[in-house]
Amino acid sequence: MESGYFKDKEFIITNMRPIRNLFNYLWNDSSLCQCDHFGNGYFFRNVGTQRRNIDNGERNVYIKDKKTGLIYSANRNYDNLPFDKYECHVGLGYQEIISEYNGMRVIFSLLVAKDDPVLLFNVKVENISNEKKEFDLYFENCPTPDTTWHAAYSYAEYDKQINGIIYHHDAFNPPNEYAKIFVSCDKKFDGFETSKNRFIGTYNDFSNPESLIKGKLSSLGTTFDNFIAAFSFSLSLNPQEHFEVTFSTATTINIDECYELSAKYLRKNAFNLEKQKQIELNDSYIDIFHLDSSDEYLNTQVNIWLKRQLSLGKTWGRIYGKGFRDVMQDITAFISFDCELAKNKILHALKYQYEDGNPIRMFEPNFKYPYNDGGIWIPEAILAYINESGDLNILDIDVPYLKGDSYENAIPSDAYFTEEYVSGQRKGNVFEHIQAAMDYLIGCRGEHNLVLWRGGDWNDSINNAGNRGIGESVWLSIATVKALNDFLDILNLIDKKDLVQKYIAARDELKAAINKYGRINNYYIYGINDDHEIIGGEERMFLNPQSWAVFADLSSKDELTKTMDKVEEKLKCDYGYVLCSPSFTKGKDNIGRVSYFQPGLVENGGVYNHGVAFKIIADCLLKRGDIAYKTLKLISCDNPKLANSGVEPYAVTNMYIGPENKYFAGFAPMCWVTGTAGWLYRAVTEYICGIKATINGLKIDPCLPLEWDEIKVSRIFRNNKYEFVIKRGKDKGIYVDGKLINGNVIDIPSPNKLIKCEVII
């Protein structure tokens, strides 16, 4: 890891100029802040079905030495000064940038409060030299009050009561009510600035702000401007002395709310108390599943960071929006951490399912392209919830459908839709929501009896193979079989025998169609488009239909093993498996955008890790633990072939640019927002370690790689703690508190027990 190292529950970045900026995310249910290794990154709040931007993420802590006149940004170091120390502590719910230069230690910390839509900044300056230091301290952040494009509505003014600045955008016909932003401070300041132009100067920038050179902030309000919240403190510190100040920022509907929120978070020690809350929240997840294997990096991923990452997805989807499929998958992986929270997230997402059973593509804000796969993610999430919690009552809870009976005949075309559309007239209980999703998919079939492709499926870049209502997706058909199996599991749990027969028949009919029309040369095609052309046939193999054929148990183990052998042969590269090979090199309108993407990019021959995670599970299902683990390590950023990928070691990326790309093979432009985290977490915990919740107890079915002789795992399940040792040996079997059990499901004792299990494989 050239960028830094893991220590306790932090990653410590020591290289101030890595290949690309390294990001962390700070969030709660209402607000999110992107935060790079300088502490920079936007902050916004979710308000109803909309977003309210609060700042643009440009933040600096400047020191101006009164003796020498030297000015520098302690968190940005624009001039690349020879700092004695730079560390960015990437924390679970906080970020801390530490610099030491010229005898001064500056610690700039950020976090989002646990229970309110507030971002807190803490700045601590220590004199670590042997002499007295006289200096000015400046902090700046850039609020974005405008919610419309009329800058003439906006103004900023000092407010005594909050000891800070309030930014107003009192607009005619605004998109939402959040007209105010405040930035407040818990210490007396000597000057402030509201105008970015006055702060940096017309011809300067943040690397050399004019007002710092002049040495005085205007302490004026402004209007019709680019805004800043800058504060100055004239300080004098003896050796070992320090100064600490906290700022808070949020958007509110009115000024009273500014006063209230500001006061709450500028109480003494508020920042540290909030940091403690973040640590406790995340600690509670760490104990849920703990892996102790010989692979230290994997242990850290599974025990700490994958949990953090999939937890981001379960609340914020892909951040630019809450993709229905994305949120559902991440919730599925999240359930063991907090069943109640997961349940609420599932119920919320189901409000975005149309009355015809198909969910919207993305919500908050909405995106309405007629993707057809939304429904397949529903039964698995709810089954996982039932298995983890044992609570079947979720099936009886009523949830409204999205207004309108389908995509075509539904909500208005505005970029944002209002709350009224989210609470339609018709409600159905959760069971009916699942059934509606299944019935939609079963009823939406084409001439080969396969599920219609419509606007696309998981591979949302194949977005024009089925828009004419003819094309059929083989992958989506396979995924429907898998979803029907999950639904059948639910039906069996609630003993609905008549429905079981009906859906077995539907599943088997679909299975037969897939194996008849969807399979050539031992592998599965992607689909048949509107022009009756085969996509993913002889000319180009796709990864996901193969892995999902294993998920859906489409054929015999031997046949499926041949299929997955083809994957090894055709799709493997030095750092993973490409989503399709070869890449498209010529755009085809009856396929869609994937064919126009440049080779190796995204779905067009990229190493798309979400798909690789599916593949690892398929390997495990075929009991090929060694291939599964090797696959996992190929995409792991400790793979030496990925030394220049740019990836944050504490997060997984959705994609490495594929080997067919001429310029950026192996590079990963972004991280964090991907279904990969959830599926990798499940791949390791449920399939490699093989510990999976069922309604009756934990099911144990490990699939370890050859190089692991023994692992230790602990798991909290239904308020009991299970400690496993899984090792190779004679007398194979599962020993619970020393006793060999029948089968591979461990019964659930009364709560608060410690259960010791030895699993000999």
Interface with a copy of itself (CB under 8 A) = 17, 19-21, 80, 150, 152-155, 170-173, 202-203, 205, 207, 220-225, 413, 463-464, 587, 589, 592-593, 595-598, 601-602, 604, 657, 661-664, 669
Minimum separation from the CB atom of position 553 to a copy of itself (A):
34
Nearer to a copy of itself, 368 or 718 (CB): 368
Nearer to a copy of itself, 97 or 657 (CB): 657
Closest CA to 581 of 514, 523, 641, 647: 523
Q: Which amino acid is at 393?
A: N
Minimum separation from the CB atom of position 464 to a copy of itself (A):
7
Burial profile 666-694: b = 16 or more Cβ within 10 angstroms, e = fewer: bbbbebbbbbbbbbbbbbbbbbbbbbbbb
Nearer to a copy of itself, 151 or 504 (CB): 151
d(CA 667, CA 20): 10
Minimum separation from the CB atom of position 308 to a copy of itself (A):
25
Minimum separation from the CB atom of position 88 to a copy of itself (A):
14
Q: Are strands 720-727 and 754-760 parallel, antiparallel or unpaired?
A: parallel
Q: Which helix (H) or strand (E) holds 739?
A: strand 739-740
Minimum separation from the CB atom of position 210 to a copy of itself (A):
11
Contact assessment for residue 30 and residue 46, using Cβ atoms and an 8 Å cutoff = yes
Nearer to a copy of itself, 24 or 147 (CB): 147
- Concatenate the DSSP letters of all residues of 609-649 into one string: HHHHHHHHHHHHHTT-HHHHHHHHHHHSTTSGGGTTS---T
Contact assessment for residue 42 and residue 57, using Cβ atoms and an 8 Å cutoff = yes
| Cis peptide preceding 365, ω within 30 of 0 | yes
| CA neighbours closer than 13 Å in the CB half-sphere of residue 241 | 10
Minimum separation from the CB atom of position 692 to a copy of itself (A):
37
Q: Which helix (H) or strand (E) holds 195?
A: strand 191-195
Closest CA to 109 of 284, 274, 242: 274
- Residue 423 forms beta bridges with which residues? none
Please tell me the total number of residues recorded for the chain in this structure.
761
Q: Are strands 10-13 and 85-90 parallel, antiparallel or unpaired?
A: antiparallel
Contact assessment for residue 215 and residue 137, using Cβ atoms and an 8 Å cutoff = no
Nearer to a copy of itself, 416 or 664 (CB): 664
Nearer to a copy of itself, 196 or 593 (CB): 593
Nearer to a copy of itself, 147 or 555 (CB): 147
Tokens 């030095």 sit at which residue? 574
Minimum separation from the CB atom of position 526 to a copy of itself (A):
17
Nearer to a copy of itself, 223 or 744 (CB): 223
Nearer to a copy of itself, 210 or 292 (CB): 210
Minimum separation from the CB atom of position 187 to a copy of itself (A):
26
- Nearest-Å Rg of the Cα atoms of the chain is 27
Nearer to a copy of itself, 237 or 602 (CB): 602
Nearer to a copy of itself, 416 or 596 (CB): 596
Q: Is the dihedral of CA 616, 619, 624, 627 positive or negative?
A: negative
Cβ neighbours for 76, distance < 8 A, ≥ 6 positions apart: 38, 40, 60, 206, 207
Minimum separation from the CB atom of position 20 to a copy of itself (A):
6
Quickly count: other Cβ atoms within 10 Å of residue 29's Cβ: 14
d(CA 257, CA 116): 12
Nearer to a copy of itself, 207 or 515 (CB): 207
240 exposure class (CB count in 10 Å sphere: 0-12, 13-18, 19+) = exposed
Minimum separation from the CB atom of position 530 to a copy of itself (A):
15
Alpha carbon 602 to chain centroid, angstroms: 17
Minimum separation from the CB atom of position 153 to a copy of itself (A):
5
Minimum separation from the CB atom of position 414 to a copy of itself (A):
9
Quickly count: other Cβ atoms within 10 Å of residue 56's Cβ: 18
